[in-house]
Structures are given as structure tokens and as C-alpha cells.
Copies of this chain bind each other. A is one copy, B any other.
Amino acid sequence: MKKRILISNDDGINSQGLLTLADKLKELGEVIVVAPDRDQSAAGHSLSLFRPLRIERFNGNKFAVDGTPTDCINLAVNGLLKDQKPDLVVSGINLSANMGDDITYSGTVSAAMESTLLKIPSIAVSLDARKDFLFGTATHYSKLIAEYVLENGLPEDTLLNVNVPNIPLEDVRGIKITRQGKRIYEEPIVEKIDPRGREYFWIGGNVLDYLKIENSDIVCVKEGYVSITPVKLDFTDYSYMHKLNEDLKDYA
């Protein structure tokens, strides 16, 4: 049977990253797009529990939801596609990288988290650029990694977080399996006065630099590799459990 691939993102249904990805993955099966009706970047893994959601249908198996990326996946898997669940979810192509600690905020990665929890193999794809996007490189590797996952599956509770350097395909040095890296942030809060004399605050979020951690997502992408970080949804810090157990004996 033809494979069914669900595509979503956090940049919204009209994002060029989403549309080129959907076109490319049609080479692998039936593609259905369910994406937010507007930009939901930095939405995190946020689910709309307290309000109804609307779905608008467009030509070509495209659906826009007035909610978060997590809402889109949940509505698609448990609602729209419940009779034939997707074989694969691909979230992206995000129009900037999702590496290091950024993945905890990322709507792109959160969409893939949601489908992973719903037991569908999932991939998040992001392009390390702010402009002049070279989608050809990202779609090439998206298809290749999607093929691998369709054939081999993924461990339960693990998704693939893919980041692609914004360079021509022939300049890519290959794929690296990486660990989550670490950015160094400087986040000054901008304080200003609005036209009506009231104070307001704006969260900065300038990235200063990143730690040079060997084999980390950030380092590998900067070196021209496509980075694949396997992300596990069990966040337990097993290495710290023993010490904590010892320490808290006196407290309990």
C-alpha cells in the first residue's frame, strides 16, 4: 500500500519550507499537509485544551488549523486521518536551525514530539539560514532520511532532529549523527515606553556563540554536515539518580 506521510511545521501553512518539502516527499507516497494557519514559531510543545479549533481545507490535501503545531498533529492523527494513520510525520522545513537548547522551545520539533508520543515515526527538519534559503539541499536530505525511516522505523519514543547547512548540495560533506549542543545566549530584556506612555518589555534572545562540543549538532552543521540528532522523550537524568537517592535518605 502507498505510504501516507503527514507534513506539518511551525512557520505556518504558507511557508516555502513546508511547500517544497511536501512537493519533494510526494515521490515517496501520499502527502497530507496539516499546519498552523499562521506563524507559531517558539510555540513549544503547547496544546490548546481550553478552546475549540477550526480546520480549513485547501486544494491538494492541505489543511490549516488555527492552533499550535502540536494541535495540528493531534487533530490530524486522532481526527482527520484516524481511519488510516500516517506511516511517517515530517515537520519542517523550518526557516532557521533548531539546535542545542532551542529544541525545547521549537514548534517544529514539538510537532514531531507529539506524533512520536502518538507512536508514529517522526522527523523534524530545519535549515540553518535566516534568508537566501537553499531548499534543494534540505529537501534532498529530507527525502533520503524519510526513506530510511519508512524502511527501518525508529525506536519507541525517539525522533530524528535534522539540521541542514544552507550550502549547495555538492558542498555538503555528508551526514553526521550528533548530540544536542549548547548555545550561549545573551538575552537582554528590552524595556520601552509605548505611544500611550505605558512601559513594555520585549524578550531579546540574541545568540552570542555556541560551545565547541565535539560531535554536537551546532558544530557539525557549521562544518558543512547534515546533522541528525536522535531525540529521546524520556528526559530522566539517570546518571544523577544514585547521588540524589543517597543524599535524600536523610531528608525522607
List A residues at the B interface (Cβ < 8 Å).
39, 41-50, 52-55, 68, 70-71, 74-75, 78-79, 82, 101, 103-105, 110, 113, 117, 144-145, 148, 152, 155, 158, 174-175, 177, 179-180, 185, 187-189, 191-192, 194, 198-205, 228-241, 244-245, 247-248, 251-252
With A52-B192, A148-B251, A228-B244 given, name 8 new contacts (CB 8 A).
Answer: A44-B68, A47-B205, A74-B189, A75-B201, A78-B189, A104-B235, A117-B185, A235-B235
- Whether the Cβ atoms of B236 and A52 lie closer than 8 Å is no
Do the beta carbons of A203 and B48 come within 8 Å of each other?
yes
In the A-B complex, list the 7 residue pairs whose CB atoms are closest, starting with the nearest.
A44-B44, A44-B46, A232-B237, A79-B189, A52-B200, A230-B237, A44-B45
Q: Which residues does chain B contribute within 8 Å of A144, judged by CB atoms?
A: 251
- Given A189-B75, A194-B52; A234-B201 close (CB under 8 Å): no
- Choice from B113, B198, B248 contacting A175 with Cβ under 8 Å: B248
Bound form: Cα–Cα A206–B43 in Å? 23
B residues in contact with A148, CB < 8 Å: 247-248, 251
Between A and B, 6 residue pairs with Cβ closer than 8 Å are A41-B49, A44-B110, A78-B188, A104-B110, A177-B244, A232-B240
